[in-house]
Amino acid sequence: MKRIWAPWRKRYLFAKKRMRGCVFCRILRSPAKNDPKNLLLRRSLHSFAMLNLYPYNNGHLMLVPNRHVASLDALREVEKLDILRLVDRSIEILRKAFHHLFRKSWKC
């Protein structure tokens, strides 16, 4: 099995964890003015997109439903559609951001 080597994550792995509870709920409850600090990129009615502070690779995004569920199939149809629209928009933005790397394989 191959291992992903991400040395920049050491700071996270060995840091004392101070926060309790769900990090996503904390970020969602935070005022929109704190979105840049929280790495939150876009809010929608039923979900949000954010960057990972310690990503494994470039373009690593997290798309999170606003409501806690055990799995994606537990989401209501309107929530699934909302998060899928956010996926589509995120892909569009990533393609534009990385177009210089993927000119031949991606069309913007």
Write the DSSP assignment of 25-44 as a string of letters. HHHHHS-GGGTTTTTEEEE-
What pLDDT is recorded for position 96? 85
Long-range contacts: 24-27, Cβ < 8 Å, 24+?
24/64, 25/68
Range 73-86 average pLDDT? 97
Confidence band of 53 (pLDDT split at 50, 70, 90): confident
Give the residue, 3 or 79, on which the prediction is more confident. Answer: 79
Token pair belonging to 58:
């470039």
Report whether CATH 3.40.630.10 matches the domain 15-97: no
pTM for the model stands at 0.74
- pLDDT score of 58 more than 90: no
Dist CA 51 CA 62 (whole Å): 6
How many other CB atoms are there within 10 angstroms of residue 40's CB atom?
A: 20
Range 47-63 average pLDDT? 87
